[in-house]
A and B are shown apart, each in its own frame.
Chain A
Amino acid sequence: MVQIIDPKLKDADYQRAMTLRRRNKGKRFQAWGIAALAVAGLMLAALLYSIVSNGVRGLMEDRITVEVYFDPEKIDPRDSGDLAVMRMFNFDTLVYPVLYEALDIKARGRSDRDKRRKVKQLIGLGASNQLREMIVRQVGVDPVTEDPILVSGGTQLGERVTVELTALSTASNPYTQTLRELGYLNTRFNGDFFTGVNSNDPGYYGILDALVGSFWTLLVCFLASFPVGVLAAVYLEEFAPRNLITDFIEVNINNLAAVPSIVFGLMGAFVFIYVFGMPGGTALVGGLVLSLLTLPTIIVAARAAIRSVPGSYREAALGLGASRQQAMWSFVLPSAMPGIITGTIIGLAGALGETAPLLFIGMVGFQSGIPLTPLDGTPSLAVGVFNAFGSQFDELKNQLSNSTIIVLLVLLMLLNGTAAYLRYRSEKS
């Protein structure tokens, strides 16, 4: 029994002071916690604001509607009727005079040269291609002469056609507002973003190829890592003897999870492409490389899930004369499945956002359209963020990059939401 010697300790005022001190200490600690949380929240908010504000603009697109006169004098001055000649014309030059007139800018002379340059910035390379296709289209290459095979695009010289062109860099252009008021420029939802494919011209950039590429990549990744991961976990958890070798393997699985992803990219480029000769830049190689990343996640999650299955199921099955394998397949694995699937989804979500290893194996810069099989060269969505941005800063490219990030984040939230839902459901039952 401890004797309280100091009479001061029994004093009511002293006790009150001590209580106050203790409470203040608690409050201070709470305040620090809230402050830390606020800083983290602020950073997240700043990031999301930057992505969403830019990204939403990328999802909207400004269009310039003009009536273009396909002037035969300019396109085919010698009246040759040769499609190859017409093809060489810079079709964007047909648009500018219309806009100059609307904006009251002199088409010639030194005084309005800067103004003309600003107007030209609104019209991209893609507009020229779009107009050219209306007059002349290339459908293939002659196998012998290697000349392009050209056909008429359907529009005749001398026609006047109203066309819609993508306007670039409208936010910083001084004429945007005037053109909008004059009815030349309008804003609408950027459907091309979801139906188009990777393009150097930001006016025509789309993510469909990257979306499909990501799907193939994740499918390959899942097929490669899920069975291997689950079987490895089952063996380690249920059948492997406890000895130095299994301990060593266990430590190294955890080490594998900590290896930077770019290392797997380098390894994948060497092993899968150089040694096994698989086609580079394809979803097949990308999926295999990413499966190396998801494998440790799946093994660790699956082992935890298997371990959390009540031993009573196993015991009951063994007591009825089931073999260990039968107990495993009938009860342990089905009961562990929600946990295993949750871990797998989290692993796949991580793989969906991986970029560095995919750059290594060449899944970058492809402009070959939508990949129909995992053997086609393709970007993934995360690489698409990189592709959209290109090599130098551009307002529209930045917006499109952020739009791609939004799509990526939405997919990640869906995946993680599914995982959370599965976890919730298995906890409830």
Chain B
Amino acid sequence: MSEDQVRMSCRNVNVAYSGNLAIKNVSMDIMSKKVTAFIGPSGCGKSTFLRALNRMNDTVDGCEVTGEITLDGNDIYAKDMDTVFLRQWVGMVFQKPNPFPKSIYENVAYGPRIHGLFRTKSELDDIVEQSLIGAGLWDEVKDRLRNPGTGLSGGQQQRLCIARAIAVNPEVILMDEPASALDPIATRKIEELIHKLAQNYTIVIVTHSMAQAQRVADKTAFFYAVPLTEQDNSNLIEFGDTKQIFDNPVDDRTRQYVEGAFG
């Protein structure tokens, strides 16, 4: 697979909640095996857009997505697209660590179970072990796989959620402010993990921390526009290489935001 292959492509995407536009006319390409960061002030729609990428918004009453989002050339909003398969390919890690009230093992095994990704118990054991290794959690929990996942520390819980997400072997992992509820040390571990995961997965991360975006992201998208007015053409203000966005932004609003003038 070539280095700059497009994994997800978005064209003129609008997201509306009960008729109110939250995302207007966003087009961008998400590159394979790169980390793409969404930054912007609260309420700019970056989380909404992230959730549009694996149709998590479907569960919200009155939410409507128009435009085109493709994964490897397939329209994810096509009628015959099954959200079960889509979410297997495009996994999600949430802001607050949300392990299931089950054992560490069962947390990771749940995804493979519902998708039938194994034939024997030892295959499942393998998947669980590989996923926990991949999430950098194996050494800490290998002796207590039967303990409840909710008994881990916040940072460990979030890595457990990442292990759970990669256990179904996704193409893309969406992360909605994955470190915002964690302390600096746990945050650092998550960031190192994101780096490592980018070797195998395409990662999209929403973050409030500009330092974090600079540390982890290859590409950065700056969202802005609250409230959205008729004149605004789009609320994706600028999208490019992280270095360019932070060192040499084209748009004034981007520069003000990355310099900390507002937000």
| A residues neighboring B (CB under 8 Å) | 242, 310, 312-313, 315-324, 326, 330-331, 334-335
B residues 127-152 in Cβ contact with A at 8 Å = none
A selection of 8 A-B contacts at a CB cut-off of 8 Å is A313-B98, A313-B101, A318-B56, A319-B91, A319-B92, A321-B83, A321-B115, A322-B114
Contact B98 A321 (CB under 8 A): no
The 8 Å CB contact of B54, one of A312, A319, A326, A334, is A319
Say yes or no: A320 contacts B91, CB within 8 Å: yes
Task: Give the interface segment out of B67-75, B160-168, B214-222.
Answer: B160-168
A326–B110 Cα distance when bound, in Å, is 10
The answer on a CB contact under 8 Å between B56 and A321 is: no
Among residues 16 to 59 in chain B, which have CB atoms less than 8 Å away from a CB atom of chain A?
54, 56, 59
B230 within 8 A of A: no
Whether A321 pairs with B84 at a CB distance below 8 angstroms is yes
Chain B residue total in the interface (Cβ 8 A): 27
| Closest Cβ–Cβ distance, residue B72 to chain A (whole Å) | 17
Is B85 interfacial (CB-CB < 8 Å)? Answer: yes
In the complex, how many angstroms separate the beta carbon of A242 from the nearest chain B beta carbon? 7
Q: Give bound CA distance, A321 to B61, whole Å.
A: 19
Q: Which 9 A-B pairs have the closest CB atoms?
A: A312-B98, A319-B92, A321-B87, A321-B88, A320-B111, A316-B98, A321-B84, A322-B114, A326-B114
B195 at the interface (CB under 8 A from A): no
Does B161 contact A316, Cβ atoms closer than 8 Å?
yes
Decide if A320 touches B56 in the complex (CB within 8 Å).
no
Q: B interface vs A, CB < 8 Å?
A: 54, 56, 59, 61, 83-88, 91-94, 96, 98-101, 110-111, 114-115, 161, 164-165, 168
With A242-B61, A315-B56 in contact, is A320–B98 under 8 Å at CB?
no
Write the nearest CB–CB distance from A9 to chain B, whole angstroms: 46
Residue from B98, B99, B115, B164 whose CB has the most chain A CB atoms within 10 Å: B98
Contact check, B96 vs A330: say whether CB atoms are below 8 A apart.
no
* Beta-carbon contact of A321 and B114 below 8 Å: yes
A312 to B97, CA, bound (A): 9
Instruction: Count A-B contacts at CB 8 Å.
Output: 65
Q: In the complex, given contacts A319-B94, A321-B84, what are 5 additional A-B residue pairs having Cβ atoms less than 8 angstroms apart?
A: A316-B98, A317-B100, A320-B87, A320-B165, A322-B110
Q: Are A318 and B110 in contact (CB under 8 A)?
A: no
Q: Min CB distance, A412 to chain B, in Å?
A: 32
Chain B residues with CB under 8 A of A324: 59
* Other-chain residue from A318, A320, A331 in contact with B164 (beta carbon distance below 8 A): A320
Q: Which residue of B lies closest to A309 (CB)?
A: B101
The residue of chain A having its C-beta at the shortest distance from the C-beta of B106 within the complex is A330
**A330 to B111 CA separation, bound complex (whole angstroms):** 11
Structural contact, B100 and A316, CB atoms closer than 8 A:
yes
Please state if A321 and B110 are interface contacts (CB–CB under 8 Å). no
How far apart are A237's CB and chain B's nearest CB, in angstroms?
Answer: 14
Q: When chains A and B are docked, how far (Å) is the Cα of A81 from the Cα of B59?
A: 89
Out of A242, A312, A331, name the residue touching B96 (CB < 8 Å): A312
Residues of A within 8 A of B99 (CB): 316
Taking the closest CB of chain A, its distance from the CB of B124, in whole angstroms, is 15
A319 in contact with B101 (CB, 8 Å) = no
A315-B164 in contact (CB<8A): no
In the bound complex, residues from chain A placing their C-beta under 8 Å from that of B94 are 312, 315-316, 319
Closest CB in chain B relative to A363 CB, distance in Å? 43
Once the chains bind, are A319 and B56 in contact (CB under 8 Å)? Answer: yes
Tell me which residues across on chain A come within 8 A of B165, comparing CB atoms.
Answer: 319-320
Which chain A residue has the least Cβ–Cβ distance from B111?
A320
Shortest B75–chain A CB gap in Å is 18
Q: How far is the CB of B23 from chain A (nearest CB, A)?
A: 19
The residues of B that contact A323 with a CB separation of less than 8 Å are 84
- The listed residue with most A CB atoms (<10 A of its CB), out of B54, B83, B110, B165, is B110
Least Cβ–Cβ distance between A393 and chain B, in angstroms: 57
A323-B84, A335-B101 known; A318-B59 Cβ under 8 A:
yes
Which residues of B are found within 8 Å of A319, using beta-carbon distances?
A: 54, 56, 87, 91-94, 165
Residues of B within 8 A of A320 (CB): 87-88, 91-92, 110-111, 114, 164-165, 168
In whole angstroms, how far apart are the Cα atoms of A242 and B60 in the complex? 13
The answer to whether residues A321 and B101 also contact, given A315-B94, A326-B114 and a CB cut-off of 8 A, is no
Q: Which residues of B are found within 8 Å of A334, using beta-carbon distances?
A: 101
Does the CB pair B100–A331 fall under 8 Å? Answer: yes
* Complex CA–CA separation, A313 to B96 (angstroms): 11
Beta-carbon contact of B101 and A331 below 8 Å: yes
Given B59, B85, B93, which contacts A321 in the complex, CB threshold below 8 Å? Answer: B85
A316 CA / B88 CA spacing, docked (Å): 12
Q: Are A313 and B56 in contact (CB under 8 A)?
A: no
**Chain A residues positioned under 8 Å from B91 (CB to CB):** 319-321
In the assembled complex, the CB of A204 is this many whole angstroms from the nearest CB of chain B, namely: 54
A148 to B85, CA, bound (A): 78
Distance A254 CA – B115 CA, assembled complex (angstroms)? 40
In whole angstroms, what is the CA distance A322 to B61 when docked?
A: 19
CA distance A109 to B8 in the complex (A): 115
Provide the bound-state CA to CA distance between A369 and B123, in Å.
Answer: 60
Closest to B164 in A: A320
Distance from A232 Cβ to chain B, minimum over Cβ atoms (Å): 21
Given A320-B91, A320-B111, A320-B164: A315 and B101 interface contact (C-beta under 8 Å): no
For residue A171, give the distance in angstroms from its CB to the closest CB of chain B. 58
